[in-house]
Amino acid sequence: MNYENIYIEEENAIATILINRPKKLNALNKRTIEELHVAFKELDADEKIKVIVITGTGEKAFVAGADISEFADFSVKDGGRLAAEGQSILFDFVENLSTPVIAAINGFALGGGLELAMSCHFRLASSNAKMGLPEVSLGVIPGYGGTQRLPQLIGKGRAMELIMTAGMIDADKALAYGLVNHVVPQEELLPLSLKIASRISNNSSVAIKYAINAVNAGFKYDENGYATEIDAFGKCFGTNDFKEGTTAFLDKRKADFPGS
Protein backbone atom coordinates (compact mmCIF):
# COMPACT_ATOMS: atom_id res chain seq x y z
CA MET A 1 0.00 0.00 0.00
CA ASN A 2 1.26 3.47 -0.86
CA TYR A 3 0.87 5.54 2.27
CA GLU A 4 -0.49 9.07 1.90
CA ASN A 5 -1.23 10.00 5.51
CA ILE A 6 1.35 8.11 7.53
CA TYR A 7 5.01 7.23 7.31
CA ILE A 8 7.10 4.66 9.11
CA GLU A 9 10.62 4.76 10.49
CA GLU A 10 12.44 1.59 11.57
CA GLU A 11 15.56 1.34 13.71
CA ASN A 12 16.95 -1.20 16.16
CA ALA A 13 13.90 -3.52 16.06
CA ILE A 14 11.55 -0.57 16.76
CA ALA A 15 9.08 0.84 14.23
CA THR A 16 7.69 4.36 14.65
CA ILE A 17 4.44 5.18 12.87
CA LEU A 18 3.85 8.90 12.35
CA ILE A 19 0.38 10.11 11.41
CA ASN A 20 1.00 12.90 8.94
CA ARG A 21 -1.99 15.14 8.31
CA PRO A 22 -0.74 18.31 10.02
CA LYS A 23 -3.19 20.66 8.29
CA LYS A 24 -6.04 18.55 9.73
CA LEU A 25 -4.28 18.14 13.09
CA ASN A 26 -3.74 14.50 12.11
CA ALA A 27 -7.50 13.78 12.19
CA LEU A 28 -8.53 10.23 11.36
CA ASN A 29 -10.32 9.83 8.07
CA LYS A 30 -11.21 6.56 6.36
CA ARG A 31 -7.99 6.50 4.34
CA THR A 32 -5.82 7.02 7.44
CA ILE A 33 -7.61 4.27 9.36
CA GLU A 34 -7.06 1.87 6.44
CA GLU A 35 -3.39 2.85 6.17
CA LEU A 36 -2.87 2.34 9.88
CA HIS A 37 -4.48 -1.10 9.69
CA VAL A 38 -2.14 -2.16 6.89
CA ALA A 39 0.90 -0.70 8.68
CA PHE A 40 0.14 -2.45 11.97
CA LYS A 41 -0.61 -5.73 10.20
CA GLU A 42 2.63 -5.68 8.21
CA LEU A 43 4.79 -4.61 11.16
CA ASP A 44 3.23 -7.28 13.36
CA ALA A 45 4.15 -9.90 10.76
CA ASP A 46 7.75 -8.64 10.53
CA GLU A 47 9.83 -10.74 12.92
CA LYS A 48 12.53 -8.05 13.02
CA ILE A 49 10.12 -5.54 14.63
CA LYS A 50 9.77 -6.04 18.38
CA VAL A 51 7.93 -2.83 19.39
CA ILE A 52 5.80 -0.21 17.63
CA VAL A 53 5.56 3.45 18.67
CA ILE A 54 2.79 5.61 17.23
CA THR A 55 2.73 9.40 17.33
CA GLY A 56 1.62 12.42 15.32
CA THR A 57 3.74 14.77 13.25
CA GLY A 58 4.31 18.29 14.55
CA GLU A 59 3.90 19.57 18.08
CA LYS A 60 0.17 20.31 18.12
CA ALA A 61 -1.63 17.02 17.83
CA PHE A 62 -1.35 13.28 18.22
CA VAL A 63 -4.78 12.92 16.59
CA ALA A 64 -7.30 15.70 17.12
CA GLY A 65 -10.28 13.44 16.43
CA ALA A 66 -12.10 11.87 13.54
CA ASP A 67 -12.64 13.74 10.28
CA ILE A 68 -16.23 14.88 10.90
CA SER A 69 -16.72 16.00 7.30
CA GLU A 70 -16.71 12.34 6.23
CA PHE A 71 -19.72 11.28 8.28
CA ALA A 72 -21.81 14.39 8.97
CA ASP A 73 -24.61 13.17 6.65
CA PHE A 74 -24.53 9.48 7.61
CA SER A 75 -27.71 7.48 8.32
CA VAL A 76 -28.25 5.25 11.36
CA LYS A 77 -27.07 2.24 9.35
CA ASP A 78 -24.03 4.13 8.05
CA GLY A 79 -23.09 5.23 11.57
CA GLY A 80 -23.29 1.72 12.96
CA ARG A 81 -21.17 0.40 10.11
CA LEU A 82 -18.61 3.18 10.64
CA ALA A 83 -18.12 2.23 14.28
CA ALA A 84 -18.10 -1.53 13.65
CA GLU A 85 -15.60 -1.38 10.81
CA GLY A 86 -13.33 1.10 12.59
CA GLN A 87 -13.23 -0.97 15.75
CA SER A 88 -12.55 -4.15 13.78
CA ILE A 89 -9.76 -2.96 11.51
CA LEU A 90 -7.97 -0.54 13.83
CA PHE A 91 -8.92 -0.06 17.48
CA ASP A 92 -9.62 -3.66 18.53
CA PHE A 93 -6.94 -4.78 16.09
CA VAL A 94 -4.28 -2.67 17.84
CA GLU A 95 -5.40 -3.66 21.33
CA ASN A 96 -5.00 -7.33 20.48
CA LEU A 97 -1.83 -6.99 18.41
CA SER A 98 0.90 -9.39 19.53
CA THR A 99 3.56 -6.71 19.04
CA PRO A 100 3.60 -4.12 21.86
CA VAL A 101 2.28 -0.71 20.81
CA ILE A 102 3.20 2.50 22.68
CA ALA A 103 1.26 5.72 22.06
CA ALA A 104 3.42 8.84 22.25
CA ILE A 105 0.79 11.56 22.70
CA ASN A 106 2.47 14.72 21.44
CA GLY A 107 -0.46 17.17 21.66
CA PHE A 108 -4.23 16.97 21.29
CA ALA A 109 -5.69 13.46 21.56
CA LEU A 110 -9.41 14.01 21.20
CA GLY A 111 -12.29 11.74 20.22
CA GLY A 112 -10.98 9.07 17.88
CA GLY A 113 -7.46 10.22 18.69
CA LEU A 114 -7.82 9.40 22.37
CA GLU A 115 -9.59 6.17 21.43
CA LEU A 116 -6.60 5.23 19.27
CA ALA A 117 -4.20 6.03 22.11
CA MET A 118 -6.30 3.99 24.56
CA SER A 119 -6.25 0.99 22.22
CA CYS A 120 -2.44 0.97 22.43
CA HIS A 121 -0.89 -1.10 25.18
CA PHE A 122 0.18 1.98 27.14
CA ARG A 123 0.66 5.71 26.69
CA LEU A 124 3.20 8.48 27.25
CA ALA A 125 2.39 12.17 26.87
CA SER A 126 4.17 15.45 26.29
CA SER A 127 3.50 18.16 28.87
CA ASN A 128 1.41 20.15 26.39
CA ALA A 129 -0.93 17.24 25.60
CA LYS A 130 -4.69 17.57 26.05
CA MET A 131 -7.06 14.61 26.08
CA GLY A 132 -10.81 14.19 25.92
CA LEU A 133 -13.87 12.64 24.29
CA PRO A 134 -15.98 15.59 23.04
CA GLU A 135 -18.45 13.53 21.01
CA VAL A 136 -21.60 14.41 23.01
CA SER A 137 -21.07 18.05 22.05
CA LEU A 138 -21.73 16.88 18.47
CA GLY A 139 -24.81 14.85 19.36
CA VAL A 140 -23.08 11.47 19.20
CA ILE A 141 -21.11 9.22 21.57
CA PRO A 142 -17.59 7.80 21.32
CA GLY A 143 -17.84 4.98 18.78
CA TYR A 144 -14.36 3.54 18.61
CA GLY A 145 -14.30 1.90 22.04
CA GLY A 146 -14.08 5.06 24.14
CA THR A 147 -17.04 4.24 26.40
CA GLN A 148 -15.39 0.92 27.25
CA ARG A 149 -11.66 1.62 27.46
CA LEU A 150 -11.80 4.94 29.30
CA PRO A 151 -13.65 3.51 32.35
CA GLN A 152 -11.24 0.56 32.37
CA LEU A 153 -8.30 2.94 32.52
CA ILE A 154 -9.50 5.74 34.82
CA GLY A 155 -12.62 4.40 36.56
CA LYS A 156 -16.32 4.71 35.84
CA GLY A 157 -17.01 7.99 37.63
CA ARG A 158 -14.15 9.92 36.07
CA ALA A 159 -14.95 8.49 32.65
CA MET A 160 -18.63 9.44 32.98
CA GLU A 161 -17.71 13.00 33.89
CA LEU A 162 -15.20 13.36 31.06
CA ILE A 163 -17.59 11.92 28.47
CA MET A 164 -20.69 13.81 29.65
CA THR A 165 -18.98 17.20 29.96
CA ALA A 166 -17.16 16.73 26.62
CA GLY A 167 -14.23 18.28 28.46
CA MET A 168 -10.48 17.97 28.16
CA ILE A 169 -7.86 17.11 30.74
CA ASP A 170 -4.22 18.11 30.62
CA ALA A 171 -1.27 15.74 30.73
CA ASP A 172 -0.71 16.04 34.48
CA LYS A 173 -4.31 15.11 35.26
CA ALA A 174 -4.10 12.26 32.74
CA LEU A 175 -1.04 11.03 34.64
CA ALA A 176 -2.84 11.31 37.99
CA TYR A 177 -5.81 9.40 36.54
CA GLY A 178 -3.58 6.62 35.21
CA LEU A 179 -4.48 7.36 31.60
CA VAL A 180 -0.80 7.87 30.73
CA ASN A 181 2.30 6.35 32.32
CA HIS A 182 4.74 9.25 31.91
CA VAL A 183 4.64 12.98 31.15
CA VAL A 184 7.74 14.71 29.78
CA PRO A 185 8.55 17.86 27.83
CA GLN A 186 7.79 17.67 24.10
CA GLU A 187 11.42 17.20 23.08
CA GLU A 188 11.83 14.24 25.47
CA LEU A 189 8.69 12.35 24.43
CA LEU A 190 9.99 10.32 21.51
CA PRO A 191 13.41 9.62 23.10
CA LEU A 192 11.70 8.27 26.24
CA SER A 193 9.25 6.23 24.15
CA LEU A 194 12.14 4.70 22.22
CA LYS A 195 14.10 4.06 25.41
CA ILE A 196 11.19 2.11 26.91
CA ALA A 197 10.63 0.35 23.58
CA SER A 198 14.29 -0.68 23.57
CA ARG A 199 13.96 -2.21 27.03
CA ILE A 200 10.90 -4.15 25.87
CA SER A 201 12.70 -5.34 22.73
CA ASN A 202 15.35 -7.06 24.87
CA ASN A 203 12.76 -9.43 26.30
CA SER A 204 11.03 -12.46 24.81
CA SER A 205 8.60 -11.39 22.10
CA VAL A 206 6.82 -14.73 22.46
CA ALA A 207 6.28 -14.26 26.19
CA ILE A 208 5.16 -10.66 25.62
CA LYS A 209 2.58 -11.85 23.08
CA TYR A 210 1.17 -14.28 25.65
CA ALA A 211 1.22 -11.57 28.34
CA ILE A 212 -0.74 -9.13 26.15
CA ASN A 213 -3.36 -11.79 25.48
CA ALA A 214 -3.66 -12.71 29.16
CA VAL A 215 -3.96 -9.12 30.37
CA ASN A 216 -6.59 -8.32 27.73
CA ALA A 217 -8.58 -11.43 28.66
CA GLY A 218 -9.12 -10.05 32.14
CA PHE A 219 -11.09 -7.14 30.67
CA LYS A 220 -13.40 -9.24 28.48
CA TYR A 221 -16.76 -10.33 29.87
CA ASP A 222 -16.71 -13.65 28.02
CA GLU A 223 -13.20 -14.75 29.01
CA ASN A 224 -11.63 -15.99 32.23
CA GLY A 225 -8.39 -14.05 32.57
CA TYR A 226 -6.94 -16.43 35.14
CA ALA A 227 -7.61 -19.42 32.91
CA THR A 228 -6.04 -17.61 29.95
CA GLU A 229 -2.98 -16.84 32.08
CA ILE A 230 -2.61 -20.46 33.21
CA ASP A 231 -2.87 -21.70 29.62
CA ALA A 232 -0.38 -19.11 28.33
CA PHE A 233 2.03 -19.76 31.20
CA GLY A 234 2.06 -23.46 30.34
CA LYS A 235 2.58 -22.80 26.63
CA CYS A 236 5.65 -20.68 27.41
CA PHE A 237 7.41 -23.82 28.64
CA GLY A 238 7.29 -25.27 25.13
CA THR A 239 9.02 -22.31 23.47
CA ASN A 240 12.63 -21.83 22.44
CA ASP A 241 12.53 -18.44 24.17
CA PHE A 242 11.86 -20.17 27.51
CA LYS A 243 14.75 -22.53 26.98
CA GLU A 244 17.06 -19.66 26.07
CA GLY A 245 15.85 -17.40 28.88
CA THR A 246 16.28 -19.99 31.63
CA THR A 247 19.60 -21.25 30.24
CA ALA A 248 20.95 -17.71 30.02
CA PHE A 249 19.87 -17.00 33.58
CA LEU A 250 21.59 -20.12 34.89
CA ASP A 251 24.69 -19.36 32.82
CA LYS A 252 24.67 -15.77 34.13
CA ARG A 253 24.64 -14.24 30.66
CA LYS A 254 22.30 -12.01 28.64
CA ALA A 255 19.56 -13.93 26.83
CA ASP A 256 19.44 -13.88 23.04
CA PHE A 257 15.84 -14.78 22.35
CA PRO A 258 15.15 -16.59 19.08
CA GLY A 259 11.51 -15.44 19.03
CA SER A 260 9.80 -18.82 18.91
Condensed to tens digits (0 to 9), the pLDDT of residues 15-26 reads 999 999 999 999
Question: 34 pLDDT exceeds 90?
Answer: yes
Question: 68 pLDDT exceeds 90?
Answer: no
Would you state the pLDDT for residue 69?
83
Place 114 in a pLDDT band, splitting at 50, 70 and 90.
Answer: very high
Catalytic residue among 9, 85, 135, 161: 135
Please state, in angstroms and rounded to a whole number, the distance separating the CA atoms of residues 130 and 144: 19
Inter-CA distances, 173 with 88, 125, 160, Å: 30, 11, 16
**Average pLDDT value for residue range 119-133:** 98
For every residue of 13-55, DSSP letters joined together read TEEEEEE--GGGTT-B-HHHHHHHHHHHHHHHH-TT--EEEEE
70 is catalytic: no
- Contacts of residue 44, defined as CB under 8 A and 6 or more positions apart, other chains included, come to 52, 97, 98, 99
Catalytic residue among 34, 115, 187, 223: 115
Provide the β-strand partners of residue 21: none
Question: 36 pLDDT exceeds 90?
Answer: yes
pLDDT tens track for 76-113:
999 999 999 999 999 999 999 999 999 999 999 999 99
Q: What is the mean pLDDT of the chain?
A: 96
pTM reported for the whole predicted model? 0.96
| Angle formed by the axes of helices 146-154 and 112-119, nearest 10° | 60
Question: 38 pLDDT exceeds 90?
Answer: yes
Please state, in angstroms and rounded to a whole number, the distance separating the CA atoms of residues 94 and 5: 18
Place 30 in a pLDDT band, splitting at 50, 70 and 90.
Answer: very high
115 is catalytic: yes
pLDDT tens track for 189-235:
999 999 999 999 999 999 999 999 999 999 998 999 999 999 999 99
pLDDT tens track for 163-202:
999 999 999 999 999 999 999 999 999 999 999 999 999 9
